[in-house]
Amino acid sequence: MPGLLNTVLEKLRDIYARLESPALKEVVERAELEEYEDKVVVRVPDEYCKFAFLKEIYPLIKRELDVSLIVLTPSEDVIFELSPKYTFKNFIVGKGNLLAVRACQVAVENLRKKSIPYNPIFIYGRVGVGKTHLLQATGNRALERGFKVVYRSSIDFAEEVVSAIKENSLPYLRDFYKNVDVLLIDDIQFMAGKERTQLEFFNIFNHLYQNNKLVVIASDRPPKKLKDVMDRLINRFEGGLVVELKLDRITKRAIIKEKLIIYGLPVDDDIIEYIAENTGDNVREIEGFIAKLKAEKGLIYTPKGEEKRREIPPERVLEEVSSYYGLPVKKLLQKTRNRKVSLVRQIAMYLVRQVCGLPLAKIGELFGVSDHTSVLYAIRRVEKLKREKPEIGEEVEFLKTKLLEV
Output 40 or 245, the one with its CB closest to Mg ion: 245
Q: Does 137 bind ligand ADP (CB under 6 A)?
A: no
Nearest alpha carbon to residue 396 among 383, 377, 378, 406: 383
Window 170-209: contact mask with ligand ADP (x via CB under 6 A):
----------------------------------------
213 binds, among ligand ADP, Mg ion, none (CB under 5 to 8 A by kind): none
Rounded least distance, CB 186 to ligand ADP, Å: 7
Output 283 or 369, the one with its CB closest to ligand ADP: 283
274 binds, among Mg ion, ligand ADP, none (CB under 5 to 8 A by kind): none
**Stretch of 229-237, 267-275, 282-290, 309-317 contacting ligand ADP, by CB under 6 A:** 282-290
Q: Does 133 bind ligand ADP (CB under 6 A)?
A: yes
Which residues, 6+ apart, have CB-to-CB distance to 219 below 8 Å? 122, 123, 124, 131, 187, 188, 189, 226
Nearest alpha carbon to residue 352 among 395, 393, 316, 301: 316
* β-strand partners of 122: 217, 242
**Stretch of 20-28, 89-97, 103-111, 162-170 contacting ligand ADP, by CB under 6 A:** 89-97
Cα–Cα separations (whole angstroms), residue 58 to 4, 10, 283, 403 = 15, 14, 30, 39
Judged by CB under 6 A, the chain residues 231 through 260 that form the site for ligand ADP are 255
d(CA 380, CA 294): 11
Q: Does 132 bind ligand ADP (CB under 6 A)?
A: yes
Three-point CA angle 303, 297, 22, nearest 5° = 140
Assign residue 3 a region (left: φ > 0; alpha: ψ between -120 and 50; beta: otherwise). Answer: left
Does residue 224 contact residue 234 with C-beta atoms inside 8 Å?
Answer: yes
Rounded least distance, CB 186 to Mg ion, Å: 6
Window 36-75: contact mask with ligand ADP (x via CB under 6 A):
---------------------------------------x
Among 30, 207, 284, 316, contact with ligand ADP (rule: CB under 6 A): 284
Cα–Cα separations (whole angstroms), residue 74 to 40, 83, 154, 384, 406 = 16, 11, 22, 19, 41
Rounded least distance, CB 131 to Mg ion, Å: 5
Q: Does 131 bind ligand ADP (CB under 6 A)?
A: yes
Nearest alpha carbon to residue 21 among 383, 400, 347, 377: 377
Q: Does 130 bind ligand ADP (CB under 6 A)?
A: yes
* Terminal C-alpha separation, the chain: 63
Q: Does 139 bind ligand ADP (CB under 6 A)?
A: no
Q: Does 91 bind ligand ADP (CB under 6 A)?
A: yes
* β-strand partners of 123: 218, 243
Q: In the 3-class helix/strand/coil scheme, how is 204-234 assigned residue by residue?
A: HHHHHHHCCCEEEEEECCCHHHCCCCCHHHH
Q: Which residue is nearest to ligand ADP (CB)?
A: 130
Which residues, 6+ apart, have CB-to-CB distance to 303 below 8 Å? 268, 270, 271, 274
Identify the sign of the CA torsion 65, 67, 68, 73. negative
Output 284 or 372, the one with its CB closest to ligand ADP: 284
**Stretch of 128-136, 174-182, 337-345, 382-390 contacting ligand ADP, by CB under 6 A:** 128-136
d(CA 8, CA 371): 25
Output 7 or 87, the one with its CB closest to Mg ion: 87
Residues in contact with Mg ion by CB under 5 A are 131-132
Among 44, 71, 129, 343, contact with ligand ADP (rule: CB under 6 A): 129
284 binds, among Mg ion, ligand ADP, none (CB under 5 to 8 A by kind): ligand ADP
Question: How many other β-carbons are positioned within 10 Å of the β-carbon of residue 84?
Answer: 8
Q: Which residues bind ligand ADP (CB under 6 A)?
A: 75, 90-92, 97, 125, 127-133, 255, 283-284, 287
